[in-house]
Amino acid sequence: MSTKVPVLEILPELPAARVLDALRAAFTELAEGKAAQPPQTVTLLAGGGDVIAYQAAQGDAYGVKVSPYLPQPGGKAVVTAWTLLLSTRTGRPLLLCDAGALTVERTAATSVLAVDELAPPGAATLAVIGSGPVARAHLRYARAVRDFTSVRMYSPSLAASAAPERVAASAAPEGVSASAVPEGVSVAGSAEEAVAGADVVLLCTSAAQPVIDVAGLRPGTVVTSISTNAPRAHEIAPQALAAMDVYGDHRPTVTATAGEMAIAAEQGLWSAGDLRGDLPELLTGACPAPTGDRPVFFRSVGLGIEDLAVARLLLTL
- Residue 189: CB atoms within 10 A of its CB come to 16
pLDDT digits (tens, 9 = 90+) for 197-207: 999 999 999 88
CATH architecture of 106-303: 3-Layer(aba) Sandwich (3.40)
Please check whether residue 87 is in contact with residue 94, taking contact to mean a CB–CB distance below 8 angstroms: yes
What is the Cα–Cα distance from 64 to 57, expressed in whole angstroms? 9
Model pLDDT, residue 198: 98
How would you class 21 by CB atoms within 10 Å of its CB: exposed for 0-12, middle for 13-18, buried for 19 or more?
Answer: middle
The alpha helices in the chain, defined as continuous H runs, are 16-31, 99-118, 133-145, 156-161, 191-195, 251-257, 259-266, 279-284, 304-314
What is the Cα–Cα distance from 258 to 224, expressed in whole angstroms? 12
Of the candidates 212, 179, 183, the one whose C-alpha atom is nearest the C-alpha of residue 198 is 212
Parallel/antiparallel/unpaired status of strands 125-129 and 61-72: unpaired
Please check whether residue 93 is in contact with residue 86, taking contact to mean a CB–CB distance below 8 angstroms: yes
pLDDT digits (tens, 9 = 90+) for 92-129: 999 999 999 999 999 999 999 999 999 999 999 999 99
Model pLDDT, residue 162: 65
- Residue 50: CB atoms within 10 A of its CB come to 13
CATH topology for 15-102+306-314 is ornithine cyclodeaminase, domain 1 (3.30.1780)
Classify 300 as helix, strand or coil: coil
Model pLDDT, residue 171: 39
What is the Cα–Cα distance from 269 to 261, expressed in whole angstroms? 9
> Which pairs with CB-CB distance under 8 Å and at least 24 residues apart come from 181-186?
181/153, 182/136, 182/139, 182/151, 182/153, 184/151, 185/128, 185/139, 185/151, 185/152, 185/153, 186/150, 186/151, 186/152, 186/153
Q: Where are the domains of the chain?
A: 15-102+306-314, 106-303
pLDDT digits (tens, 9 = 90+) for 32-74: 999 999 998 989 999 899 999 999 999 999 999 999 999 999 8
Model pLDDT, residue 168: 47
Parallel/antiparallel/unpaired status of strands 41-44 and 75-79: unpaired
Model pLDDT, residue 164: 42
* 300, pLDDT greater than 70: yes
Q: Which of 54-63, 82-91, 177-186, 247-256 has the lowest mean pLDDT?
A: 177-186
* 221, pLDDT greater than 80: yes
The DSSP secondary structure of 176-238, one letter per residue, reads S-GGGS-TT-EEPSSHHHHHTT-SEEEE----SS--S-GGGPPTT-EEEE---SSTT--SS-G
Cα 201 to its chain centre, rounded Å, is: 13
User: Looking at residues 6-25, what average pLDDT do you find?
Assistant: 95
Question: pLDDT class for 291, splitting at 50, 70, 90?
Answer: very high
